[in-house]
Amino acid sequence: MSHLDLAHPYFGVFVIFIFTFVAFLATTFLSRFIGQSLANKNAQKLKLAPYECGLAPTKQPNRISSQFYLMALLFILFDVEIIFMFPWAVDFKVLGVFGFIEMLLFVFLLVIGFVYAWRKGALQWQSMK
């Protein structure tokens, strides 16, 4: 053997990785080629119409209130705190007083954020006129 060391413990993993990557690319391009070659390229008006129900789609301005997005953002913000509180609750006895003080500080910061959002009116639902 020259400078190539085939006895390295990770050589087999590297070969399998390369083989998997090549197989993925081949499968992707082959399925794309077959799909494009077999697709019916006949664009009829009936084919582009909505199926069985509903009005024909028209271009309209966005009428969704930004309040939905703000509520979703606040939900995610205050929901993620549970992800941080769960491991703390599991190891509560191991962490002791220091862990308890850290969690009190964390909850205090969340309460500050909640009060700030409340005072700014982020939790008030406005009418959609």
pLDDT value at 1 more than 60: no
Q: Is residue 101 part of a domain?
A: yes
Residue 30 and residue 72 share a domain: no
Show the domain range for 94: 66-119
Are 32 and 72 contained in the same domain?
A: no
Domain assignment of residue 58, yes or no: no
Q: Which of 126, 127, 122, 129 is nearest to 72 (CA)?
A: 122
**Would you state the pLDDT for residue 118?**
85
Classify residue 61: in a domain, yes or no. no
pLDDT higher at 82 or 104: 104
Report d(CA 54, CA 45) in Å as an integer: 16
Whole-number Å distance between alpha carbons of 9 and 41? 51
Is 96 within the bounds of a domain?
yes
Binned at pLDDT 50, 70 and 90, residue 128 comes out as: very low
In a domain, 59, yes or no: no
pLDDT digits (tens, 9 = 90+) for 25-63: 999 999 999 988 887 777 676 666 666 666 666 676 667
Residue 44 within a domain: no
Nearest Cα to Cα of residue 77 among 36, 110, 120, 100: 110
Q: Is residue 22 part of a domain?
A: yes
Is residue 11 one of the residues assigned to a domain? yes
- Which of 45, 42, 44, 43 minimizes the C-alpha distance to 56? 45
Q: For the chain, how many structural domains are there in total?
A: 2
**The model scores a pTM over 0.75:** no
Name the band, by pLDDT with cuts 50, 70 and 90, for residue 108. very high
Report the pLDDT value the prediction gives residue 129, as an integer from 0 to 100.
46
pLDDT in tens, 65-100: 777 888 888 888 888 888 888 888 898 889 889 999
